[in-house]
Amino acid sequence: MTPQETDSQTNSDVSPPPSTSSIDPTKIHHIADHKHERPLTTCRVDPSGKFAFAGAEDLNVYRWDLESGEKTVLAGHQSWVRSMDFSPDGQWLYTAGWEGQIRSWEVAAESPVTLNVIQAHRGCARWVQSSPCGQMLTTCGNDKRIRVWDAASGKQIVELSGHRRHPYAVLFHPTDGHLVSEDLMGIIRVWDPQQLIETNLIDASVMTGYDNKFAADMGGARDMCFSSDGSTLACAGITAVVNSFAGEQDPIVVLVDWQSKAVTHYLKQTERKAGIMWGVRCHPAGFVVGAVALQGGGGQLLFWQPAASHATNAPVNESDQTAGDQQAQTAPELAGEPIELKPYHTFALPNCARGMDFTSDARRVVIAHANGNLGVYEMAEKTDDGAAEPTAS
């Protein structure tokens, strides 16, 4: 398949990240589209890398074989699915529906059917994640509760309360046994589920969805993930809301250092364009990728290297700065103050991104698009001389 032509921009003022892997994100290119008739709401790739799953506005979940393109329907939810996860062994898919249910499916079944249903929350079930051991699930919803469930039986193990606004995401830390959750106002809470207590409160309220003009909570948070070693928490969403009903807000990723529980970075665009950061992933090579739905209907993939610390200390919500202004204001990190980091590479997407994930080898990015396409994009492999060439499709 011929790669789709899209605008691709590398910022000449920011050095590419260190050569920590055999791939070059600045050579990312489009390799495939798997089409659907209705807009997609989110997507995930199973641990084997064989299948991609996506929620759609027709309320179903769909499975695509990434090689053959074969599409299979998973029917059962009565509302949108905006969150999915897999058991660590890749055998089970868990989906969270806005009707409040968590459903379990066999990933590779010829015709997947619901194997278990948990009525997890009153109102939306916004998130589901499997524990690192695979024995538990954690969820959050519009009843403002964080819950932990036995994955096999569906019985509740733990309920945690404390969020004053709807929590949007909740994660198990990869190694230390804690939970972390974030609400729509950008408040992050860290929990010890065994002691049933909150251990830390992190203020990431720069990422808020509160619309002062209409006095409405639109939700700041959209996605959350840990780096593979658990040292960094990345939260995606919006900031600088002017009129969220009209899409006048800025996409942002907030990074938190897990050891200190301090916000360290605000990851933003090179040139301000109104939109929503619907997805974020920490790549094993050390860079961070964000997926944006732009106000005008297009999208972006943004690539940052936090270790490079090309930062500005200007206020994150200042909307009239140009890229040139930001270049001139590059300064060392100030103690205790998050640094604002611009991407070293921007890749234009043909349509709004509403979810993203990496394949298991971390060389491909799968995007759920608002036009119904599940787009697959590949990062090129470096040759021995340091140049990049496409990997085999």
162-197 confidence digits (pLDDT tens): 999 899 999 999 999 999 999 988 999 999 998 899
Which residues, other chains included, contact 78 with Cβ-Cβ below 8 Å and sequence gap of 6+? 59, 97, 99, 101
12-41 confidence digits (pLDDT tens): 334 344 444 688 999 999 999 999 999 999
CA distance 81 to 58: 10
pTM for the structure as a whole: 0.86
Looking at the chain, the whole-number percentage of residues with pLDDT higher than 90 is 73
Please give the pLDDT value at position 13: 39
- Give the chain's radius of gyration (CA, Å): 20
Please give the pLDDT value at position 10: 44
The pLDDT-based confidence of 318 (bands split at 50, 70, 90) is: very low
Question: If you search the block for the tokens 């759920």, which residue do you land on?
Answer: 368
Please give the pLDDT value at position 171: 98
For the chain, the first-to-last Cα distance in angstroms comes to 8
Please give the pLDDT value at position 332: 36
Please give the pLDDT value at position 293: 97
Q: ∠ at Cα 186 (244, 348), nearest 5°? A: 55
Q: How far is CA 38 from CA 59, 80, 85, 327, in A?
A: 10, 12, 22, 41
Is 8-309+337-384 a domain of CATH 2.130.10.10? yes
> Cβ–Cβ contacts within 10 Å for residue 217, how many?
16
Please give the pLDDT value at position 6: 37
Q: How far is CA 8 from CA 112, 295, 311, 375, 378, in A?
A: 38, 19, 22, 16, 13
The pLDDT-based confidence of 254 (bands split at 50, 70, 90) is: very high
Strand arrangement, sheet containing 40-45: 40-45, 51-56, 61-65, 71-74
Residue 256 · residue 204 · CB < 8 Å = yes
Strands 262-267 and 339-341, bridge-based pairing:
parallel
SS3 state at 160: strand
Q: ∠ at Cα 330 (324, 332), nearest 5°? A: 175
Please give the pLDDT value at position 21: 62
- Listed in order, strand segments (DSSP E) in 23-67 are 23-34, 40-45, 51-56, 61-65
CA distance 338 to 336: 7
The pLDDT-based confidence of 123 (bands split at 50, 70, 90) is: confident
Which residues, other chains included, contact 19 with Cβ-Cβ below 8 Å and sequence gap of 6+? 382, 386
pLDDT at 161 > cutoff 60: yes
Distance of CA 253 to the CA centre of its chain: 9
- Listed in order, strand segments (DSSP E) in 244-387 are 248-257, 262-267, 275-282, 288-294, 299-304, 311-312, 339-341, 345-349, 353-358, 364-369, 374-382
Computed over every residue of the chain, the mean pLDDT equals: 86
Average pLDDT estimate for 358-377 = 97
CA distance 355 to 368: 5
The pLDDT-based confidence of 384 (bands split at 50, 70, 90) is: low
CA dihedral for 313, 316, 320, 323, sign (positive or negative): positive
pLDDT at 275 > cutoff 80: yes
Average pLDDT estimate for 197-223 = 85
Please give the pLDDT value at position 50: 97
Please give the pLDDT value at position 208: 84
